[in-house]
Amino acid sequence: MEPTDVAAVVLGTDPHALVVAALGTATSALRLASDDGPHLYLGGAMGSALATALGVAEAVPERAVVALLGDGELLMSANGLWSVAAYRPANLVAVVLTDGHYSITGGQPLPVDPRFSDVAGALPGLAATRVADGGNLRDALLGLPRPALVEAVVRTGSRPGPSPFVDPGTVRARFTAALRAMDGADRPDTGQEVPTCTADR
């Protein structure tokens, strides 16, 4: 699979999901597959996608939330898997683009084969699997209990290229609007501020 194929399957499986991507290949793939849709792109915040998605999942428990990240990024923040297993958000899935390389910095191989699905699957309360094609990815997204981790194997060296700059304020405004959206209708006004991303602060 290509990273953009993975992002397309994620979006096609649940078009209303809120997707968080923090870095490089995952962000470029998500932006390309969604035509710059209203998702949360954190630019170069390596290692932050899973923790940010966990926060979004807690803030908006009625919405499906997907952390889309690379294996190099998750290797930097793998301790987040223990937090996901501990808090067990019923609306969160992490999808890891895995090719065993740091794709955006020159394709250097990771120092180890992390096998995140094996690690996540060993944690109580966290479902996990590894897939190599779009059909199995879709089945995993539909069938795994939440929280879950899906390791999606992508072609080594494949990346959609760098993303053009996007204004953080625009990302925040679009993502806030997506947070307010509820099955196509506006969220009822409760007098409370809707959680927003802080990427522009």
Return the number of other C-beta atoms located less than 10 Å from residue 169's C-beta: 10
ω into 147 cis (within 30 of 0): yes
* Burial 116-155, CB ≥16 within 10 A → b, else e: bbebbbebeebbbbbbeebebbeebbeebebbbbbbbbbe
> What pLDDT, on a 0 to 100 scale, did the predictor assign at position 107?
66
What is residue 191's predicted lDDT score, i.e. its pLDDT? Answer: 39
156: its two tokens:
């080594």
Q: Which residues of the chain have pLDDT under 50?
A: 183-201
Predicted pLDDT at 12? 96
**Cα separation of 104 and 46, whole Å?**
11
The CATH superfamily label for domain 3-186 reads Thiamin diphosphate (ThDP)-binding fold, Pyr/PP domains (3.40.50.970)
Identify the pLDDT of residue 99. 85
pTM: 0.85
77: Cβ–Cβ under 8 A, 6 or more apart, which residues? 47, 48, 49, 50, 51
Residue extents of the structural domains in the chain = 3-186
How big is the CA angle at 110 (ends 104 and 116), to the nearest 5 degrees? 105
Helix (H) or strand (E) holding 24: helix 24-33
Tell me the per-residue pLDDT of 99-131, one tens digit each, with 9 for 90 and over. Answer: 876 666 666 777 778 789 999 999 999 999 999
pLDDT digits (tens, 9 = 90+) for 152-165: 999 876 667 666 67
pLDDT at 157: 67
